[in-house]
Amino acid sequence: MRRAALVAVIAVLAACNGTDQELAPTTTSTTSPAPETTTTTMMASSTTTSDENTTTSPPATTTTLAPLESLAYEEVAAVEFPIHMVPWGESALLATKSGRVFAFEGGEIGDAPLLDISDQVRNEGEQGFLAIAVHPDYEGRVFAHYSDNDGDTVVSEFAWDGETLGDEEVIFTHDQPASNHNGGMIQFGVDGALYLGLGDGGRSNDAFGNGQNTETLLAGLVRIDVDGGGEPTLWQYGLRNPWRFWIDVGDELIYIADVGQNAYEEVNVAGLEEGLNYGWPITEGLHCFQPSSGCDTEGLTLPVVEVERGDAGTCSITGGVLYRGTAMPELEGHYFYSDYCGGYLRSFLFQDGEVVEETDWTDQVGVPGGVVSFGMDFFGEMYVLTTDRILKVVPIRAG
């Protein structure tokens, strides 16, 4: 298949923050000064390891590497609002917010979309085509989460016929009472089920009372058994707007970046056991959402990382990926994340139940503009997606 880069068009992204007007202003991506870096000493390594934790494992390699000095962004392509990238076969699938999915291979994007449902996607503000996932046992089954023309949540399966993705089968729908806090991410767990993140229904202050309501699927992590059938299940709850999460099939942990309202963004790390309560709107980050009245946090799963609003321009956390590639074995198992307004690149390692090696890489990589998502290719390498570009995270080594 021929490959070519798409034409760059800058779009508006919803910042997903806490006011009733939850959209970032229309801007052109710019590079702004990076905040000061607090760097944690990284463990040196001279040998790559094969990736045993991704759905599709690339070939094992053994290569002697020079010491890692820093990280950098390598611009791969200019794209009209890339929204998600996942491994697929020996390449990757790239989705755009408008409702198109392309093959992505060798750093190039296919000439024609493999899927185009832009006529049935409401691409406005926080709504649009939001995420894709590939079945762990059969790459010919691709799943998509999008906002339909009425603004409601749809999760569908599409079948690969050797040339395109077609034959849509809708497997889940849910009404959305507002245009913001629609969640976004879908990903398969180690149990073979598809997990979907949904927000609290929108507006501010948990206006619809869904945060602690276990009778709704909103404000929750929803489990969908795409093979065994049955009704979708509210698996975990108490989430405000889990725009991006990441399930690590190696450690069987889920990393949920939940967008805050007024004061704090957060990253939660927990097992995939049923019934966990992440606290919204009792808590925001590690704090009581209504501090003047206090709150009872007993039984809540509190975040392992919080980012205060205003820290390096923070306004809406963009959850990322757990690195499992081979180009940077020093960073094996480190979780990377960013922010739509701040645009920084930060990481940590969750080890023995604790956050260690917190690192801010922004001085090295720069601020690329509004970071909307992360991606991963077949080799487990990591990409940062902005409103108009795809950037690969690459190592800079001594010598």
* Per-residue model confidence as pLDDT tens for the chain (399 residues): 333 333 333 333 333 444 433 333 233 333 333 333 333 322 223 233 333 333 444 445 456 899 999 999 999 999 999 999 999 988 999 999 999 999 999 889 999 999 999 999 999 999 999 999 999 999 999 999 999 999 999 999 999 999 999 999 999 999 999 999 999 999 999 999 999 999 999 999 999 999 999 999 999 999 999 999 899 999 999 999 999 999 998 888 999 999 999 999 999 999 999 999 999 999 999 999 999 889 999 999 999 999 999 999 999 999 999 999 999 999 999 999 999 999 999 999 999 999 999 999 999 999 999 999 999 999 999 999 999 999 999 999 998
Q: What is the pLDDT of residue 63?
A: 61
- Count the neighbouring beta carbons within 10 Å of the beta carbon of residue 386: 26
Long-range contacts of 211-215, Cβ-Cβ distance < 8 Å, separation of 24 or more: 211/237, 211/238, 211/239, 211/240, 211/280, 211/281, 211/282, 212/237, 212/238, 212/277, 212/280, 212/281, 212/282, 213/237
Question: Whole-model pTM?
Answer: 0.85
CATH class of segment(s) 68-397: mainly beta
Q: What is the pLDDT of residue 36?
A: 34
Are 83 and 96 in contact by the 8 Å Cβ rule? The answer is yes
Distance from first CA to last CA of the chain, Å, rounded? 37
